[in-house]
Amino acid sequence: MESYTIRYVENDGDTVCPRCGKCTVPHCGLGLFSDEDEEPICRRCGAECAPAMIALLDLAFTAERVGKSCHRLLTPPMESLLDLAHAAEKYSHSKAAQRGARL
């Protein structure tokens, strides 16, 4: 079974997904990596081979977005809290499905 990690992507240059060979959108930030490859895996391929890791990345991106937009507020707006709850629920369901698949 292949293992995956979440690492920080430092470069802004074009990268090619090692799974499908398609060019991915350049970005800095977190990305999903196979332990065998040095290039990040695209979102579509990651959703097929590591859905729990993609859900965790979505949760991290949502938390970062909410944190940046609401850092001066005492409490975040309800929409932001619902976004966080939705991302956390998706992650929780993906982990439960992954555990069910192993049994």
Rg (C-alpha) for the chain, rounded Å, is 15
Specify whether 54 is located in the same domain as 9.
no
* Pairwise CA distance, residues 21 & 95, whole Å: 27
Same structural domain for residues 60 and 16? no
The answer on pLDDT for 27 being more than 80 is no
- pLDDT tens per residue, range 69-96: 888 888 889 999 999 999 999 999 887 7
Provide the 8-state DSSP code for 38: S
Domain of residue 103: give its range.
Answer: 50-103
Same structural domain, 29 and 58: no
Together in a domain, 30 and 12: yes
What pLDDT band is residue 9 in, cutting at 50, 70 and 90? confident
Q: Which of 5, 77, 66, 17 is nearest to 44 (CA)?
A: 17
Q: At what angle do helices 78-102 and 51-69 cross, to 10 degrees?
A: 170
How many domains would you assign to the chain?
Answer: 2
Whether residue 23 sits in one domain with residue 57: no
Determine the pLDDT at residue 97. Answer: 66
Residues 6+ apart with CB under 8 A from 59: 84, 87, 88, 90, 91
pLDDT of residue 103: 45
As a whole number of angstroms, the distance between CA 28 and CA 20 comes to 21
Confidence band for 99, pLDDT divided at 50, 70 and 90: low
Which pLDDT score is estimated for 85? 95
Q: Are residues 6 and 24 in the same domain?
A: yes
Q: Looking at the whole model, is its pTM more than 0.75?
A: yes
Our separate counts of H helices and E strands in the chain read: 3, 4
